[in-house]
């Protein structure tokens, strides 16, 4: 007798690419919220009474709780409770964090007792900056957890298919968020009379849409899991061998390849993300242009990365050469930062700045496109979520 063949959902291009769209849009919205205040730095300093040191502490607050161990807990949650629960949880944390940050910067907050109490200690850090940082901490926990969750989702839905391409496209879509917010935030702010809250509220509303996306994804993923059970590729109750145990974390720490990937990740991203926070203001001061122009110049940063990342994913799926891509991308990044530091002050021209920014974007395409698809190849699937989270943990320490 012939057995009935069950066609899984991820065998259907429409289903798996729909999943990619749902989860990638959330990261698009998250990247917008991360950098929504970067093109407004001068306005933030003038309106809220922050200086560059306060702005830097606020920016660093995104990573504090993650560094203190939350990402390790997030990895355990992801591997124990699955991508559906983790996805909704992390998206909800982003929405809550965005709301707290919005409240902290609002005029209403300055009339509360909490504002006065926050202002009574550590006077170098204004009360509104402390509240905004608290919101950014909560958001940062959700954002980093969601980033690892999305990677595991794509590894699950694109296993044996276009995994590198899917991860490349997800990264490209997320980086469109950086480009978009550099243009949109100043426009919304100017349209609302120099408001900081308006662009912040707009990006917060987008995060709510992202939360709805993950709820929809949950229904699709539940159906996919039931198909895996019917096809005999999974069981409703995991066997002791397939069940995640805390002791499994030791296998990750013992992997030399894990540490190579993690250290490359922390060194590379520590040279990219902090620079990204200050880059618009750096261009504003170096090129002697206004804040809006500086933000639009830096918005060119992800342009080539957006186009190249999916193509590099296709190349990686078919040809490999991941190690070569990592080395070339790292060398490009070093050359660009040296040029920003020593050549741009000597040649303060817009065309030269844009050239360096776009070339840096090429580096930002090469390295992540090769880095993230390599993790599912070296780590067992049952501890994949923890592996991604541990890499992000090491990265957050550097950031």
Strand spans (E) along the chain: none
- Cα separation of the two ends of the chain: 59
Mean pLDDT of all residues in 115-133? 91
Averaged confidence pLDDT in the chain: 83
Would you state the structure tokens that stand for residue 24, as one six-digit string?
A: 């990638």
Q: pLDDT by residue (tens digit) across 160-196? A: 787 778 887 887 788 788 888 888 998 999 899 888 9
pLDDT of 134: 94
Q: pLDDT by residue (tens digit) across 330-374? A: 899 899 999 999 999 999 999 999 899 888 888 887 787 777 777
11 pLDDT tier (thresholds 50, 70, 90): confident
pLDDT of 152: 84
Question: Above 80 in pLDDT, residue 385?
Answer: no
251's CB contacts (< 8 A; 6+ apart) are 380, 383
What are the phi and psi torsion angles at 297 (to 5°)? -65, -45
* d(C-alpha 320, C-alpha 294), whole Å: 37
pLDDT of 62: 85
pTM for this one?
0.75
Question: Above 60 in pLDDT, residue 158?
Answer: yes
Which residue reads 């804040």 in tokens? 291
Q: pLDDT by residue (tens digit) across 44-59? A: 888 888 888 898 889 8
pLDDT: which is higher, 305 or 176: 176
pLDDT: which is higher, 356 or 74: 356
Which residue reads 């997320």 in tokens? 174
| Structural contact between residues 224 and 115, judged by C-beta atoms closer than 8 angstroms | no
For the chain, the C-alpha Rg in angstroms (whole number) is: 22
2 pLDDT tier (thresholds 50, 70, 90): very low
Would you state the structure tokens that stand for residue 348, as one six-digit string?
A: 């303060």
pLDDT of 234: 61
Q: pLDDT by residue (tens digit) across 185-241? A: 989 998 998 889 999 999 999 999 999 999 999 999 998 888 887 876 665 555 445
Would you state the structure tokens that stand for residue 326, as one six-digit string?
A: 């990592």
| Structural contact between residues 107 and 69, judged by C-beta atoms closer than 8 angstroms | no
pLDDT of 319: 72
281 pLDDT tier (thresholds 50, 70, 90): confident
246 pLDDT tier (thresholds 50, 70, 90): low
1 pLDDT tier (thresholds 50, 70, 90): very low
Would you state the structure tokens that stand for residue 99, as one six-digit string?
A: 């709301």
pLDDT of 33: 94
361's CB contacts (< 8 A; 6+ apart) are 300, 301, 302, 303, 304, 305
* d(C-alpha 199, C-alpha 185), whole Å: 5
Question: Above 60 in pLDDT, residue 388?
Answer: yes
Name the least confident of 79-83, 135-139, 346-350, 380-384.
Answer: 380-384
* d(C-alpha 58, C-alpha 109), whole Å: 17
pLDDT of 3: 46
When mean pLDDT is compared over 3-17, 59-73, 142-156, 236-250, the highest value belongs to 142-156
Question: Above 80 in pLDDT, residue 115?
Answer: yes
């Amino acid at each position: 007798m012939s057995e009935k063949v069950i066609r899984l959902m991820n065998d259907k291009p429409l289903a798996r690419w729909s999943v990619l769209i749902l989860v990638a849009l959330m990261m698009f919205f998250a990247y917008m919220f991360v950098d929504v205040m970067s093109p407004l730095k001068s306005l933030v300093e003038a309106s809220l009474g922050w200086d560059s040191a306060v702005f830097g502490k606020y920016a660093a607050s995104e990573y504090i709780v993650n560094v203190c161990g939350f990402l390790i807990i997030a990895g355990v949650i992801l591997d124990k409770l699955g991508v559906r629960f983790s996805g909704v949880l992390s998206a909800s944390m982003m929405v809550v964090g965005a709301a707290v940050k919005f409240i902290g910067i609002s005029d209403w907050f300055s009339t509360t007792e909490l504002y006065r109490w926050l202002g009574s200690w550590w006077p170098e850090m204004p009360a509104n900056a402390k509240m905004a940082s608290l919101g950014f901490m909560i958001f940062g926990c959700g954002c980093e957890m969601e980033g690892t969750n999305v990677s595991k989702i794509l590894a699950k839905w694109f296993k044996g298919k276009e995994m590198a391409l899917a991860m490349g496209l997800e990264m490209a879509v997320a980086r469109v968020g950086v480009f978009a917010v550099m243009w949109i935030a100043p426009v919304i702010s100017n349209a609302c009379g120099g408001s900081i809250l308006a662009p912040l509220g707009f990006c917060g509303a987008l995060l709510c849409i992202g939360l709805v996306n993950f709820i929809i994804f949950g229904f699709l993923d539940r159906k996919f899991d039931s198909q895996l059970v019917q096809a005999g590729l999974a069981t409703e109750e995991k066997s002791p061998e397939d069940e995640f145990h805390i002791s499994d974390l030791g296998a990750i720490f013992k992997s030399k390849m894990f540490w190579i990937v993690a250290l490359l990740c922390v060194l590379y991203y520590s040279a990219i993300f902090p620079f990204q926070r200050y880059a618009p203001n750096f261009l504003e001061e170096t090129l002697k242009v206004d804040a809006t122009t500086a933000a639009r110049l830096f918005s060119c940063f992800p342009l080539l990365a957006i186009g190249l990342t999916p193509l590099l994913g296709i190349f990686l799926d078919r040809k490999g050469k991941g190690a070569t891509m990592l080395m070339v991308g790292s060398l490009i990044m070093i050359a660009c930062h040296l040029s920003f530091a020593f050549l741009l002050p000597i040649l303060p021209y817009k065309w030269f700045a844009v050239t360096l920014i776009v070339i840096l974007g090429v580096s930002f395409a090469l390295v992540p496109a090769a880095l993230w698809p390599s993790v599912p190849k070296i780590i067992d699937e049952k501890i994949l979520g923890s592996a991604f989270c541990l890499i992000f943990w090491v990265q957050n320490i550097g950031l």
